[in-house]
Structure 1
Amino acid sequence: MLLPVIMAGGTGSRLWPLSRELYPKQFICLHGQNSMLQETVNRLAGIEVRAPMVICNEEHRFLVAEQLRQINKLSHNIILEPVGRNTAPAIALAALNAVEQGDDPILLVLAADHIIDDKAAFHRAIATATAYADQGSLVTFGIVPTGPETGYGYIHRGDKVNEQNEAPHKVQRFVEKPNLATAQQYIQSGEYYWNSGMFMFRAKRYLQELEKFRPDILEACRRAMANVQEGNDFINIDKDDFIACPDESIDYAVMEQTDAAVVVPLDAGWSDVGSWSALWEVNDKDSQGNSLKGDTFLHNTKNCYINTDDQLVAAIGVEDLVIVNTKDAVLVARRDQVQDVKRVVEFLKNECRSEYRRHRETYWPWGRCDLVVQTERFNVNRITVKPGEAFQLQMHYHRTEHWVILSGTAEVNIQDKTVLLTENQSTFIPIGHPHTLKNPGKIPLELLEIQSGSYLGDDDLILIKQQFASK
C-alpha cells in the first residue's frame, strides 16, 4: 500500500495578496471546492493508500491539522520542520519515520499546491510507476508539455526501460529552466517533459541513494529524528540538528546522481499554479474570458481574473487584468506582468510591513481573529471561537482588553474568577490579570475585543498554561 508524502511547505509569494507567509496558497481554495492541500489528498481516492504523511512548517501546524481533520485524514501524520531545508531532507524525514516503524512502504511524494484535472490519468500513471518503484527504481513523473514553457525545469528522457508499451523511460538528464528558444527546441524534439516535482520509490531505496550521494544530509536527518517529540497530531523533530542539515532539493541530491531514475509521463491537466496568469488559464471563464470569484460587476471587460473576498469589485472597459481584493490589500496587474508581484512582496518585507506575512484575518486552533481596526493606542478584533475550544491562559503587561459578546456563550476566567456571558454582555481585563475564555456551547462564539494601551504588539502575550502543548 502506498504512503503519500505531501510537501506542504513554501510561502507562495507569487500569489500575493491572497497567499501570505502565514497563510500560503496550499491552504487556500483556488481551484475546486477545497483547499489545495485537501484537493491533493482527495485526489488519491480510489487508490489503496495509507493516511498521508504531511510535512510542513511549524508555523502552519494548526492550519494543516484543521484541514486534515475536516476531511477525516488527521492521524498523527504531520511532520513539523523547524526550518525549511528543501525537499531532499524533508523526504528523508518521512522515509526515516516510516522505516523506524519497521516498514518499507512505497512513498508517493506529492506537492500540496498542484492542480491535476484528470484524476483517472493521474491514477493510471501512479499504477505504472508503482510496478517500477517496487523493483527498486526511483520514479519521477514528467508532465507532457503543452508548449515551450520557460518557467519549468525539464527532464530529458532516454531509452525505454523495456519493450512494454507502458514502460517508462530512463532519465537521461534534468535541465534547468530554459530560455524561450531552448524551450522551443525541447518541445520540437519530443524528448522532454516538464519536471513536476513528484516522485515514487521505496523508503529504504531512497535512503540508500541519499547515503551514497549525500551522506551529510542523511546523517543530519537521522540525528534530528533521533530526538523526536511526539504529540497527538504532530511529530516534532530536533531543531538544532535539523538547522545543521544542508539545504538541497531531491533533484540535485539524488535524482541527478542516481542511475536508477526513470520517468513516467503524465498528461493529466497539471499546473503548479505558479502565478495569477496560470490560475486564470486553469479556471472556468465566462463568455468574455473572465475568471471570477466573489462579488463582481463587469461591463465591457474581457480576459480578466478577478478574485474578491467580501467587497464588490466593479470593472468597466478593461482587458487582460488581474484584480485581487482582500481585506487589507488590492492587487491590480496586467496578466502578462504578474511575475513582478514578487517586487511588491520584496517592498513589503523591506519596509517591515505585515501585509507580506499575514492577513488581516488569522486562524488559530480555537478559531479565527479579524483585526477590524488598528491604531497606535487601540485595536479592535472580531473573534470567533469554535464550540468546545478555548484561549490559552495568558496575561499582558501593556494592554487592557474589553470583551463584548455578539453571539453564543462565553465562559470567562479572570484571575481565578469564572463567569458566563451571553449576547450583549461584556467584561474588562485589567493589565497583568491572568485570563482565558472558553466556548462551552454548541454554536460558534462571536465577540469583539477592544485592546487599549501604550504597546499593542503581538509579543505582549505571556502564556501561563500551555493548553495546546500536546497537539
Structure 2
Amino acid sequence: MITPVLLCGGSGTRLWPLSRKSYPKQFVPLVGEETLFQASARRVVAPDYAAPLVLTNSDFRFIVTEQLAGIGIDPGAILIEPEGRNTAPAVLAAALWVEKTDPDGLMLVAPSDHVVPDAPAFRAAVETGAEAARAGKLVTFGITPDHAETGYGYLELAEAPDMSAPAAMDLLRFVEKPDAATAEDYVASGRHLWNAGIFLFSVRAILDAFRAHAPDLIAPVSAAVEAGRPDLGFLRLDPGAWAGAESISIDYAVMERAGNLAVVPYGAGWSDLGGWDAVWRASGPDENGVATSGPTTAIDCTNTLLRSEDEGLQLVGLGLENIIAVAMPDAVLVADASRAQDVKQVVSALKAKGAGQAETFPRDHRPWGWFDCLALGDRFQVKRIVVHPGAALSLQSHHHRAEHWIVVQGTAQVTIDENVKLVSENESVFIPLGARHRMENPGKVPMVLIEVQTGAYLGEDDIVRYEDVYARG
C-alpha cells in the first residue's frame, strides 16, 4: 500500500497578492477550477493508495477538511504542526505515524501546491519507482526541463535518461539553484533534471535514513507524535517537543547525505508555480504570449499576464510588454516579468510599512464559512458573511461594538442572550454591545447576511468566546 503524504503548510510569498500567509497558494484555483491542494489530493486517489495523510498548521486545518469534502475525498490522519519546522520534521512525523499501521508500506511525499496536469502519467511514474523503493531506495522524481530555469534546484545523473522508457536511475548529486549560464549548460547536457521535491520510499528506509543522517530529529519528533492530542478529528503534535526539532529541509537533513538514492525521470508536465512567470506559462499564453484570467482586456500586449480576482474590477492592459499585472480587491501588483522571482521583496517591504495586505487575505476564511469587508470607516465596518449549511459561529460577545445583521439569503437562527429566533431573507436584527450572541445556519443552502458594525474599536480580537463547536481558543 502507498500512503500519500501531502505537505500543506507553505506561504507562497512569490505569488503575492493572490497568495498570502493567511491563505496561501495551495488553497487557490490558480490553474483550472480546482485549487492546487484539491488537485494534489485527487491525483493520489487510486486503488493501491491509502487515504491521504495531510500535514498542515492550525490556521489551515478547517480549510483542508472543507476543500477535501468539496471533492469527495475522506482524508486519513491530519497532523497539525504547532509551528513550521521545514520539511524534514514533517516527513519524519508522517513516517512515525504511518509506521503504527503500515510499517512495511511505502510513502509518497509531495507538496500540495504543484501543478501536474497528467495524473495517470504521474501515478505511472510512481509505479516505476515503487520497485526501487521496496528494495530500500529513497526515490525522488526529476522533471525533464523545457527551459533554463534558475528558480529550481537540479538533480545530476550519470547519463541522459531514456524518456521513451523511463526507469529508476542512480543519482550522482543534488545541485543548488544555478545562474542563467549554468542552467543553460544543464539543459544542454541532458543529464540534469529539475528537483520536484517529490519522494517515494518505504517507511523502514526513511526511518533508517533519519537514524543514520539526522539522528537529532528522532527524539523531539517522536515525542511530538506520541504526546500529540486528538482535537476534532485532527492530531495536534505536542508543541513543546516539536519546538525542539531543528528547522531543516528533507533535502539537507537526509537526501543529500544518503547513498541509496534513485531518480525517476518525469516528462509529462509539471510546475511548482513558484512565481508569476510560472503561472503565465501554465496558463497557456496565446500567440502573442498573453495570458489572462478574470475580467481583463489586453490590447496590443505581448508576453504579458493579466489577472483580475474581482468580478467587479476590470483590468485593462494597453501596449504592455513583459509585464505581470495581478489585481485583487485590496492590492495590485504590476511587475516586469523578469523580476517574477523577486515578488517576495514586495511582501517584505509591505510588512516593514505595517500594511495588512502583506500577509492578510481580503477574504477571511473560517471553519463555518467566510467573510469579507465591504466598507470600513471611522467607527463603522460593513461585512458580507457567508455561513455554510449546518454551521454555527461561536457564542460570543464584544466589548467595543454593536452589530446589525441583515439576512439577504437563507435563514439565520440567532441567539441574543436568552432569546433564540429565526431571521429570514430581508429581515434584520440588532445585537447590542456586550450581548452574548450567536448565528447559525439551520438550512440546506448557504446563508448570506450583511453585518454593520458600529463602535469605538472594530478589530477581530474584540471577541470573547463562551462556546465554540470548532474548539478555537
- TM normalised by structure 2 equals 0.95
- Bigger Cα displacement from structure 2, 350-359 vs 91-100: 350-359
Aligned residue in 1 for 2:176 = 176
For residues 470 and 73 of structure 1, what CA distance do their matches in structure 2 show? 25
Shift in Å at residue 76 of structure 1? Answer: 4.6
For residues 70 and 3 of structure 1, what CA distance do their matches in structure 2 show? 21
Aligned residue in 1 for 2:433 = 431
- Bigger Cα displacement from structure 2, 7-16 vs 350-359: 350-359
Shift in Å at residue 85 of structure 1? Answer: 0.6
Aligned residue in 2 for 1:397 = 399
For residues 125 and 28 of structure 2, what CA distance do their matches in structure 1 show? 27
Shift in Å at residue 431 of structure 1? Answer: 2.0
Residues 72-471 of structure 1: matches in 2 within 5 Å?
A: 72-101=72-101, 103-158=103-158, 166-309=166-309, 310=311, 311-469=313-471
Q: Say which SS state the counterpart of residue 271 (structure 1) adopts.
A: coil
Shift in Å at residue 443 of structure 1? Answer: 1.9
Shift in Å at residue 266 of structure 1? Answer: 1.0
For residues 355 and 105 of structure 1, what CA distance do their matches in structure 2 show? 44
Shift in Å at residue 54 of structure 1? Answer: 1.2
Structure 1 residues 423 and 273 mapped into 2: Cα distance closer, same or farther (>3 Å)?
same
Q: Say which SS state the counterpart of residue 115 (structure 1) adopts.
A: coil
Shift in Å at residue 124 of structure 1? Answer: 2.4
For residues 470 and 71 of structure 1, what CA distance do their matches in structure 2 show? 26
For residues 108 and 231 of structure 1, what CA distance do their matches in structure 2 show? 25
- Bigger Cα displacement from structure 2, 281-290 vs 52-61: 281-290
Aligned residue in 1 for 2:26 = 26
Structure 2 unaligned blocks of 5 or more: none
Q: Say which SS state the counterpart of residue 347 (structure 2) adopts.
A: helix
For residues 453 and 362 of structure 2, what CA distance do their matches in structure 1 show? 16
Q: One-letter code of the match for 2:414?
A: V
Shift in Å at residue 463 of structure 1? Answer: 1.1
For residues 330 and 270 of structure 1, what CA distance do their matches in structure 2 show? 28
For residues 319 and 43 of structure 1, what CA distance do their matches in structure 2 show? 36
Contact 1:115–1:272 under 8 Å retained in 2: yes
Contact 2:167–2:265 under 8 Å retained in 1: no
Aligned residue in 1 for 2:39 = 39
For residues 427 and 174 of structure 2, what CA distance do their matches in structure 1 show? 64
Sequence identity (%): 40
- TM normalised by structure 1 equals 0.95
Shift in Å at residue 302 of structure 1? Answer: 2.5
For residues 307 and 245 of structure 1, what CA distance do their matches in structure 2 show? 40
Contact 2:13–2:20 under 8 Å retained in 1: yes
Contact 1:140–1:261 under 8 Å retained in 2: yes
Contact 2:4–2:109 under 8 Å retained in 1: yes
For residues 148 and 52 of structure 2, what CA distance do their matches in structure 1 show? 34
**How many residues matched?**
468
Q: Say which SS state the counterpart of residue 292 (structure 2) adopts.
A: strand
Shift in Å at residue 317 of structure 1? Answer: 2.1
Structure 1 unaligned blocks of 5 or more: none
Contact 1:160–1:167 under 8 Å retained in 2: no
For residues 178 and 315 of structure 1, what CA distance do their matches in structure 2 show? 33
